[in-house]
Structure 1
Amino acid sequence: MKANSTKRKIFDAVDLLTEDTSSQMPVKTMKGGVTMLDIDSIKPFHNHPFHLYEGDRLDDMVESIRDHGILNPVIVREIDDGYEMLSGHNRQKAAKIAGLKKIPAIIKYDLPDTDAYVYVIETNLMQRSFSDLEISEKAAVLKERYDKVLYQRQRESIMAEVAKLEGKPLKGGHGDHHFNNRDEVGKEYGLSGSSVGRLLKVNDLIIPLRHKLDNGSLMFKVGIQISFLTEEEQQLVYEQMMELHVKLTMEMAIKLRAHSGDLNLAMVRRYLTKTVDPKDRPMNIKVAEKISKKYFKGKDQKTIDDILEKALAAWFAAEGSADV
């Protein structure tokens, strides 16, 4: 009896999802709640923004599944040629390694992309804190928060549902925010509005460049510059980075961004293999302190610039080599 009680407790959360919620959300749940699906019939969520487990964490999950099975069902949505995973990518990966052919699933029907993305984001946030996420993962979370793709009540309903399934409380004060702007989004994670804005730009990078951000082979500030290029231009830059074994610098990124819209292969190769021409490099000329005190004390910058220009013009004219 005790064993049955424990098993019953595992599926209490699932039972909550089988209740009639049609008046709250435009989704349906299959009668009975859980269905055993062929594990290969479930495709990963398109453009899934989170990295899957590897190493010890994956090994531990595989061992747990072998010993106890999958205790919490995955969440999928029906698509034309099967199912798409919303919550459970790691469980599916580990289950395949453990040799399982079927997996328990809760199926969502007629679920639009906007709602589906909330499931993907929120179920991942229940497993890890925001600070533990990689750069591209943080960017994906902030995009879901910032985009005005769902009414707030609809988002809250979905978040409450997945919280019940995972048996975990909601993180943060989701219900207190309407996420109308970057500052409001940033408050939840201790970020400024400008920081949110920069992270949102990460979503404009092609996936291979997001991975480079996450593994540290692409500097964040450089990545932001490259995010202003078109997807086709970014792909060209990425392919040449790999072929030439070049690490992008800020100088390269600024030069590439300046020509966004008309970049071609020859231009990209030139900017990735040559340093910026001296004539294009900003100049920063310093004047010795003793000269500054002797000639420029008490004068404003404009006056100093005028004096220097006249003095240098006169000197070069006298030398017969003025280039003015």
Structure 2
Amino acid sequence: MSITELGRTAPSSGTEPAVLAEGLVKAFGDHRAVDGIDLEIRPGEIFGVLGPNGAGKTTMLRMLATLLAIDAGRAEIFGVDVAGRPHVIRQLIGVTGQYASVDEQLTARENLRLFARLQRIPAPSARRIAADLLGRFSLEEAADKPIAHFSGGMRRRLDLAASLITRPPLIFLDEPTTGLDPRTRGQMWDTIRGLITDGCTVLLTTQYLDEADQLADRIAVIDHGRKVAEGTPDELKTMVGASTLQLMLAEPGEVPAAVEAVRRGLGSEPVLSPEKGRLNVALDQADMAADVLIALRTARISISSVSVAKPSLDEVFLALTGHETETEETR
């Protein structure tokens, strides 16, 4: 069976996971970059792995992609053991990293043909596949220009196109929009959604909370190499209450007293925001907001602004880990 045929006939019944990982561990010296992570990804979904820089996202993905040895635990892709049959795994996956892995001296068309020929695809088929992918990723006008003249977004689209040459049923996207401007990120999101329409399963790692919220059917939150939560975006948001009371204190120095007042009056733990003088209180019911305000007034703590909002993934991550994800915007 050729690689291309394998891609077309990969398991599609949905009876077994696209990815199954149990107790994955990867250590570098005394540091466990991945510390006992379990995952189960269903065929046909976008599964997001959300975490800050250094959380272990890329290390975990590289183990699943056979690029790093698994120190402990086990993993399967469509029922195939990752450690035992790496040559088969590589036929079932496509991998796109944070940085485009294309040859800058070649044109987009030449890059795609080269990748196809490296997969032992005959030259006529390689030409046809390259033309199809250039059209699909809106690169036709730039097809015969050297990659050195491409923007970051164009390079990223070309890199993703190259990972689809063999039509793999599973795509690993490692922070695919890092460093892209908002408009280009939005275009990449549309492209990623299109992969599911074409029958792929996607494992997406990201440090962008909005990206996970917009794209992922389910999300695993990892921090310091461990999975701290998993669920749909809505399920994760309910972990911090039905709504969130957002408070800005008139005097930032009164935050400790405000936290204590909310604890006494409501019996819940406010979440401190990185913004000085702001704290968020999870509300199981909207009318609990009045109880919080009464508790603060009783403690003679003045509020400069107050609002009630639906929980966001930012608040979920902050509540679970005690810190924000670190992105270009927060550095």
TM bin, normalised by shorter chain, reads under 0.3
User: When you count strand as a share of all residues, which structure comes out higher?
Assistant: 2
Which has the higher Rg, Structure 1 or Structure 2? 1
User: When you count helix as a share of all residues, which structure comes out higher?
Assistant: 1
**Larger RCO (CA within 8 A; separation ≥ 6):** 2
